[in-house]
Amino acid sequence: MPIPVIHNHDGHVDDILGCILLWLSPEVDLQAVGITNGDCYFDQAYEAMLKVATFLDIEGPEIAVSEDEMPNPFPDNWRRESYIINELPLFGANDFKKPYQQGRGRRLETAFADCISHSKTPVTAIVTCPMTNIANMLREQPQLKSKITELITMSGAVQVPGNVDAEGCDGSAEWNVYADPVSYKEVLESIPNITIIPLDVTNELRVTPEFLARLEKQSDRSKASLLALKLFSLVRGFEYYFWDTVTAAALVEPSIFTFKDMKIDITTQGKSMGKTGTSIFSGRKVRVALQANKERFEDLVLSIFARI
């Protein structure tokens, strides 16, 4: 039986590709997708997700959205990428198709809560954005905790430097935690079974020209590969990693990774705000991915994308 899954993401290129990976994986039954207003502008990322689904001609989950701003918003130049994704010329092919879903999209927390409470078996949550909306949902409906079997999240920098270089920050935090450290800490303290895919492992998984060449080779017979190629071309020249696509792979093919149980402490104030440090005496026990097999990961992405 495929595993029931919800995916909370914030519309960047690697988020969308992680979402497609889950959507196309036979092991996964993707039941709902929620767009958080993090590394994107929510209205743009929401429309873009509908266009992705229309373009791929696939049936699937409800797509929901949240308008909540982050306590520490992402840089504008990263968020603006959602406008460019939404305007991809490739989506012109959608003009004569029936749209995947009509209207504005339900509130993320409501859609996720409905999905989790109606599921016969417990649900796995994949979170590749800040925890703001998951924390909201659990505050509103704490009984849902027991129906989330596992939460897998791209977040944190455990034994490596972070990627936030905002004013007044010491550089130890990773963006998804820094954007809303209080919600992150709340979720960490309320869900027992959490797996973290931190920068420690994603730093080793950069999008390379060699990978793009392999993707291009299969893009004349695979719509998903063609779309992935166009999305990656938007971030060509930047230092871009497979962050959230790796996180989706951690559910689909966990044997690619080495994991270690660690106790993690979240700093919620001051210059280290958003830091995910290890701690022996305090903190929450989580499963942390520390290494991944790059070849197996890339092969997995290419083989799943080649399905359509």
Residue numbers at the binding site for ligand AGV (CB under 6 A): 12, 14-15, 39, 78, 128, 154, 163, 174-176, 238, 243-244
Work out what residue 186 binds among Ca ion, ligand AGV, none; the CB cut-off runs from 5 to 8 Å by kind: none
- What is the nearest approach in angstroms of Ca ion to the Cβ of residue 126? 11
Q: Tokens 């973290």 sit at which residue?
A: 196
Nearer to Ca ion, 86 or 219 (CB): 86
287 binds, among ligand AGV, Ca ion, none (CB under 5 to 8 A by kind): none
CB of 155 to ligand AGV, least distance (A): 8
Q: How far is the CB of 78 from ligand AGV (least distance, A)?
A: 4
Q: Least Å distance between CB 176 and ligand AGV?
A: 5
Query: Which residues on adjacent β-strands are paired with residue 45?
Result: none
Q: Residue 78: name its binding partner from Ca ion, ligand AGV, none (Cβ under 5 to 8 Å by kind).
A: ligand AGV
Per-residue CA distances from 251 to 231, 262, 271, 297 (Å): 23, 19, 33, 12
183 or 222: whose CB is closer to Ca ion? 183
Q: What is the dihedral of CA 38, 79, 72, 190, to 10 degrees?
A: 20
Least CB distance from residue 12 to ligand AGV, whole Å?
A: 4
Q: Which is nearer to Ca ion, 172 or 245 (CB)?
A: 245
Report the residue number, 78 or 83, with the smaller CB distance to ligand AGV.
78
Which of 15, 186 has the CB closer to Ca ion?
A: 15
Q: What are phi and psi of 147, to 5 degrees?
A: -100, 5
Question: Which of ligand AGV, Ca ion, none lies near 54, with the C-beta cut-off 5 to 8 A by kind?
Answer: none
* Torsion angle of C-alpha atoms 159, 198, 40, 185, degrees rounded to 10: -80
- Residue nearer to ligand AGV on the CB measure, 175 or 305: 175
- Shortest separation between residue 93's beta carbon and ligand AGV, angstroms: 25
Asked if residue 44 lies in contact with residue 82, where contact means CB atoms within 8 angstroms, the answer is yes
Nearest partner of 5 among 176, 163, 77, 23, judged by Cα: 23
Q: Which is nearer to ligand AGV, 243 or 297 (CB)?
A: 243
The option from ligand AGV, Ca ion, none interacting with 253 (CB < 5 to 8 A, set by class) reads none
Shortest separation between residue 65's beta carbon and ligand AGV, angstroms: 17
218's torsion region: left (phi>0), alpha (psi -120 to 50) or beta?
alpha
CA distance from start to end of the chain: 21
Residue 109 CB coordination number (10 Å): 22
| Binding site partner of 63, from Ca ion, ligand AGV, none, Cβ cut-off 5-8 A by kind | none
17 vs 8, 12, 135, CA distance in Å? 13, 9, 24
Residues found near Ca ion in the complex (CB under 5 A): 10, 12, 15, 128-129, 244
194-197, strands of its sheet edge to edge: 62-65, 28-35, 3-9, 123-128, 148-154, 194-197, 284-292, 257-266, 276-278
